[in-house]
Structure 1
Amino acid sequence: MNSILITGCNRGLGLGLVKSLAKLPKPPQHIFATCRDAEQAVELKQFADSCKNVHILQIDLLNFEAYDNLLAQVSSIVGDKGLNVLINNAGVAPKSVRINMTNQKDIINTLTTNVVVPIMFAKACIPLLQKASEINGSKSMGVERAAIINMSSILGSIEANTDGGLYAYRTSKAALNAATKSLSIDLSKNKILCMSMHPGWVKTDMGGKNAPLDVETSCGGMVKTIMELNESHNGGFYQYDGKKLPW
């Protein structure tokens, strides 16, 4: 894998993925880590200072007009090799849980960040992903060729929903799963693999302190799973340890 771009890397899973990838025996030549405010991403900046292959890119992903400029920066670094992997990690989880506390603003904001943003950013990245897929035409589908990985959640599984509630978050991740499936079909002709990933319930600001997994375990598992992806995973929904999940 020559290059990978991860959104939402100022903390939590995004930062954990950057660290796990950088520690691989053969790390990507270029790890692009986005954040909304580079000055506030202190830990990410400190880590990037020690790893020359980590590039911090500042962007508010809700500013759709800024995508072209950001990807021009990526293109200037990767050149004709294109972008091998996009991980749409950035997301939000509103605090409202039950139907009586759910409000229109939470739903709209969550759907915009968790669904519209990853779809539109994936769309913007397609030319760079196609370039990587073409130049690696002798390789099978996977991260060494080209892939889009959307960070989903088991809470987006309709079949596994036995608790109800979480209307904004559940519906956003279910919609993201649907988008991932469509991407996997639409981009299969370009040999660009697309799949949804559940990181597990992780101790982050979003997951809370009661979560059973730490960031290192989740991200280490995700990186291992990502590195082993092949054509059989295209259009699928998997958790951090490679287990297939129900839609």
Structure 2
Amino acid sequence: MLSPRVVFITGANRGLGLEFVKQFLKLVNPPDYLFATCRDPEEATELGSLKEDSDRIQILKLDVTSQSDIDCAARELGVRLGDRGVNLLINNAGLTRKRQYVGNLNKEHLLEQFDVNAVGPLLLTQALMPLLLRAAADSPEEPDSCSKAAIVNISSILGSVGENKTGGMYGYRPSKAALNMITKSLHEELKHKGILVTALHPGWARTGIGGPEATLSPEESIRACISVLSNLSTENSGSLLSYNGETIEW
């Protein structure tokens, strides 16, 4: 059963990030602290409404492309958590640009996607690493799990080299492929330290990125993702997993 006591989610003001917040609150044992981050908390009206109904939610300002925001968030966690660690980090914030084909590429837009989708999650993970290690050390006898200590990078099947049959999306595909490589490297570095690491494809969901024609609602997508996280272990850590539990080739 999934029951992390401290959860940290990026991009939690809308789409899948917001749905993660909603469904974590519905767990049999919801987190004591649910840190929900976004670039502009004042504009996150739905997230703010959820906070009014639950003192478990802690809203933090965080632009994953801003090192100062990352450092500030890490310091704030240290103050609010005291001697507790972070059990589950979900790097959910992401960005795609439309019309990404050869002939219409823009360097700024390409680098922006790498910054949000790959570099930002890595630097945030680095900043929160002491808190993740603390959570793992607090329960040395427990099996590795998302309730103990884990990093979940929300990736995409579009970042799979082996599954690329259509091309295009120059920016989103390579940046998610980079996130997949980061996931694998983190797994190899942390696999003996009690921290699970996985990349998770949430399916084609009806969000700002997925669009209105997507096959899954946010509720369906995250319900399935929660099930995958409930079963994450040392056996399938370090993989690119689909929302249906299957492993996707890199």
The partner residue of 1:177 within 177, 180, 183 is 180
Match in the other structure for 2:107: 104
Q: Does 1:56 align with 2:59?
A: yes
Post-superposition offset of 1:244: 1.1
Q: 2:92 aligned with 1:89, yes or no?
A: yes
| CA–CA separation in structure 2 for the residues paired with 1:38 and 1:17 | 17
Matched residues in 1 for 2:149 and 2:166: separation?
36
Q: Who is 1:124 aligned against?
A: 127
SS at match of 2:235: helix
- Offset of 1:102 from its aligned partner? 1.8
Structure with greater helix percent: 1
1:39 alignment partner, SS class: helix
Comparing 66-75 and 219-228, the one that deviates more: 66-75
The share of aligned pairs that are identical, in percent, is: 38
State which of 178, 186, 211 in structure 2 corresponds to 1:208.
Answer: 211
Q: Which residue of 2 aligns with 1:29?
A: 32
1:18 CA drift (Å): 0.4
Aligned residue number for residue 47 of structure 1: 50
How far off its partner does 1:143 sit?
Answer: 1.1
Matched, 1:195 2:198: yes
1:16 aligned to 19, 42, 58, which one?
Answer: 19
Backbone CA RMSD of aligned residues: 1.0
Shift of residue 51, structure 1, vs aligned partner: 1.3
For the pair 1:159 / 2:162, whether they are aligned, the reply is yes
C-alpha contact (below 8 Å) 1:137/1:145 kept by paired residues: no
Partner of 2:249: 246
3-state DSSP of counterpart to 2:192:
helix
Please tell me whether residue 222 in structure 1 is matched to residue 225 in structure 2: yes
Deviation digits for residues 182-219 of structure 1 (CA, Å, limit 9, x no counterpart): 00011122111110000100000111000000000001
CA distance in 2, matches of 1:179, 1:202: 24
Deviations 1:219-238 (A, max 9, x none): 11111211221111211110
Q: Unaligned 5+ residue runs, structure 2? A: none
Tell me by how many angstroms 1:122 deviates. Answer: 0.6
Q: Given the alignment, which residue of 212, 231, 236 partners 1:233? A: 236
How many residues align? The count is 247
Distance in 2, Cα, partners of 1:70 & 1:24: 25
Amino acid at match of 2:230: M
Q: Which moved more, 1:220-229 or 1:171-180?
A: 220-229
Shift, 1:65, TM fit: 2.1
Contact 2:10 2:92 in 1 (8 A): yes
Runs of 4+ aligned structure 1 residues displaced above 6 Å come to none
Q: Deviations over 1:92-140 (max 9, x none)?
A: 0011232122221111111111111011111111000000000011111
Secondary structure, counterpart of 1:148 in structure 2: strand
Which of 100, 113, 116 matches 2:116?
A: 113
User: Could you tell me how far apart the structure 2 residues matched to 1:233 and 1:29 are?
Assistant: 27
C-alpha distance in structure 1 between counterparts of 2:112 and 2:145, whole Å: 32
Rounded Cα–Cα distance in structure 1 between residues aligned with 2:188 and 2:240:
14
